[in-house]
Amino acid sequence: GEYIDTTWYQQQVLAALADDNATQAVVVYIDSPGGMIGGAMSLYQQLRTIAAAGKPVVAVIANLGASGGYLAALGADYIVANETSLVGSVGTLLPLADLTRLADKIGIQADEVVSGKMKTATSPLRTRTAAERLYLQDTVNDLNSMFIDKVKQRRKPTPEAMRLIAEARIFSGRTAKALGMVDALGNLPEAMAWLETQQVDPTLPLLEVSLVEELPWYEEFGAGVVAPLERVVGQVAPLTPALLAR
């Protein structure tokens, strides 16, 4: 799996699914260790919008549904994971580095012009002050509280389960099921079985909908670092009766 992000094209595709009268339900295939919390929260909100439009949403976690990958899965009405899937890592990370000793060795010195005293708090060329660390920790805690709130709202874990989840642990799918983080163990067949309980016709075919805009090869080459969002969150596959007429 790769990292979750969001694009304007992705937002348009998911909004279209919410508005499409032919789409009866959505299956989201997730295989991701996480990514930007903004992108994961955006995907969560878009899936909730689809569900609010009366279309059941089920997430299938493959190898990984961790961190932002799990946050995205929380947007589904029902979550399926393989018993050996890695699920959880509910937490927020701000990766930083202090390269001041290395900079001294090779003769580099920071010389920055900033508009506010916290602007350089993440600079690798300065050792952070206690005040800067506190500021960054507060920001991380704020973002993490939003993630935790979504877990509580959507999964309603027991206090003991929530204590373990909030430690940002990674769990097997089997343990995640015991903790109430997922609804069922399995794969696509289990997801389809749940959709039947939601009055979705099981004979309807799946239509794969890419979250990546197809570009000419020369544009895709230039955007190669960020283009393969499809591999970040997998495919969003709606069940649509419109396919029967094709």
Q: Which two tokens stand for residue 34?
A: 């996480």
pLDDT in tens, 94-147: 999 999 999 999 999 888 899 999 999 999 999 999 999 999 999 999 999 999
pLDDT at 219: 60
Q: Is 80 exceeded by the pLDDT of residue 51?
A: yes
Q: Which two tokens stand for residue 66?
A: 């961790």
Q: What percent of the chain has pLDDT over 90?
A: 73
Mean pLDDT across the stretch 44-48? 96
Mean pLDDT across the stretch 166-192? 97
Residues 6+ apart with CB under 8 A from 7: 211, 213, 229
* Region label for 239, one of left (φ > 0), alpha (ψ between -120 and 50) or beta (otherwise): beta
Cα–Cα dist 185/174, whole Å: 7
pTM of this structure: 0.85
